[in-house]
């Protein structure tokens, strides 16, 4: 089933997909083990940074092979792309879904750039996600507010034909200094105004009850990245500092296992929504 169809199914069921970023074989493996253990579908995403690191062919092949080997239903998604060329490269390599992030440009520019991507994606029958509003990226201020406006969201979705829209409702990428509080009223109003799947970026550190209420109010995709990197690296550092073992096939698995546990917890939150 293509991702656009899956989103329509989730809309009827009132459920969502977890979208996890992976960075290397070990983080991918942790995610796949979790999805397999929970028997739940998953979106595997790579940022442009991961594409630069792994190469697009390797990223796509690893994800595909991993889904098959672990018997997991899943989709491969390009997260936060700003370049049309990279989007085309990923679609050519077999990505199911792409995000064009022109959220820091003007509304009109965002519409134009996103529309070019939706046109391109039609040739591949691929899913397109865009972003409207200010969701702080890593290192950007959490103070600045630029929540998505329902009227603009409606106009944006009609003009661009996107399948999924990332909304700014109080989440941010990276860890939070204080507990985030999503504007769930606004989320419901946006959901009533648009006819597409809504996406929550910055899923790390958002309490389970808010994620679940978010799903009830229209979120169909929840992105989690920072917590994966954090648990993986913290565990790995611990392993490395407590052993002289150079057999990396024995040093990496505890870190992969922690990713597995973390992702299972996130999937359980979605299952129980």
Residues whose CB falls within 8 Å of the CB of residue 201, separated by 6 or more in sequence, listed in order: 131, 135, 166, 171, 173, 223
**Is position 132 an interface residue for ligand 13P (rule: CB under 6 A)?**
no
Q: Is 79 a catalytic residue?
A: yes
**Binds ligand 13P by CB under 6 A, chosen from 81, 224, 255, 273:** 224
CB of 202 or CB of 214, closer to ligand 13P: 202
The three-class DSSP label of residue 224 is: strand
**Is position 129 an interface residue for ligand 13P (rule: CB under 6 A)?**
no
Residue with tokens 């077999």: 94
Distance between CA atoms of 34 and 63, rounded to whole angstroms? 14
Q: Please count the other Cβ atoms lying within 10 Å of the Cβ belonging to residue 179.
A: 9
CB of 173 or CB of 220, closer to ligand 13P: 173
**Is position 90 an interface residue for ligand 13P (rule: CB under 6 A)?**
no
Distance between CA atoms of 39 and 94, rounded to whole angstroms? 24
Find the part of the chain contacting ligand 13P (CB under 6 A) among 29-37, 48-56, 200-208, 252-260.
200-208
**Is position 220 an interface residue for ligand 13P (rule: CB under 6 A)?**
no
Nearest CA among 271, 266, 230, 226 for reference residue 14:
271
User: Cβ distance 203 to 224 under 8 Å?
Assistant: yes
**Is position 103 an interface residue for ligand 13P (rule: CB under 6 A)?**
no
Find the part of the chain contacting ligand 13P (CB under 6 A) among 110-118, 139-147, 180-188, 217-225.
217-225
Which residues are registered as beta bridge partners of 198? 165, 219
Catalytic residue among 79, 96, 101, 163: 79
**Is position 148 an interface residue for ligand 13P (rule: CB under 6 A)?**
no
Distance between CA atoms of 134 and 202, rounded to whole angstroms? 12
**Binds ligand 13P by CB under 6 A, chosen from 16, 41, 79, 111:** 79
The three-class DSSP label of residue 128 is: strand
Nearest CA among 164, 185, 181 for reference residue 11:
164
CB of 38 or CB of 166, closer to ligand 13P: 166
**Is position 204 an interface residue for ligand 13P (rule: CB under 6 A)?**
yes
Q: Which two tokens stand for residue 128?
A: 């397109």
Reading phi first (left if > 0) and then psi (alpha if -120 to 50, else beta), residue 28 is in alpha
CB of 180 or CB of 253, closer to ligand 13P: 180
CB of 127 or CB of 226, closer to ligand 13P: 226
**Binds ligand 13P by CB under 6 A, chosen from 27, 114, 210, 223:** 223
Contacting positions for ligand 13P (CB under 6 A):
21, 79-80, 173-174, 201-204, 223-226
Annotated catalytic residues are: 79
């Amino acid at each position: 089933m293509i991702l656009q169809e899956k989103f329509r199914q989730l809309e009827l069921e009132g459920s969502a997909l977890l979208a996890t970023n992976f960075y290397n074989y070990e983080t991918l493996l942790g995610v796949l083990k979790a999805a397999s253990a929970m028997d739940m579908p998953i979106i595997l995403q790579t940022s442009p940074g991961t594409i630069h690191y792994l190469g697009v062919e390797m990223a796509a092949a690893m994800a595909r092979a991993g889904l098959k080997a672990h018997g997991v239903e899943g989709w491969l998604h390009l997260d936060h792309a700003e370049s049309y060329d990279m989007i085309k490269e990923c679609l050519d390599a077999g990505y199911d879904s792409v995000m064009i992030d022109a959220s820091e440009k003007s509304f009109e520019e965002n519409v134009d750039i996103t529309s070019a991507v939706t046109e391109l994606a039609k040739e591949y029958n691929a899913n397109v996600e865009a972003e409207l509003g200010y969701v702080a990226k890593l290192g950007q201020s959490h103070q600045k507010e630029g929540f998505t406006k329902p009227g603009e969201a409606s106009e944006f979705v009609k003009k661009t034909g996107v399948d999924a829209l990332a909304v700014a409702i109080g989440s941010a990428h990276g860890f939070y200094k204080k507990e985030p509080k999503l504007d769930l009223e606004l989320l419901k109003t946006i959901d009533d105004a648009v006819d597409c799947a809504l996406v929550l970026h910055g899923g790390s550190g958002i309490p389970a009850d808010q994620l679940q209420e978010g799903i009830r109010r229209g979120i169909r995709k929840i992105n989690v990245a920072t917590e994966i990197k954090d648990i993986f690296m913290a565990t790995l550092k611990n392993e490395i500092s407590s052993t002289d073992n150079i057999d990396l096939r024995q040093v990496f698995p505890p870190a992969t296992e922690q990713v597995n546990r973390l992702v299972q917890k996130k999937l359980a939150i979605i299952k129980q929504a």
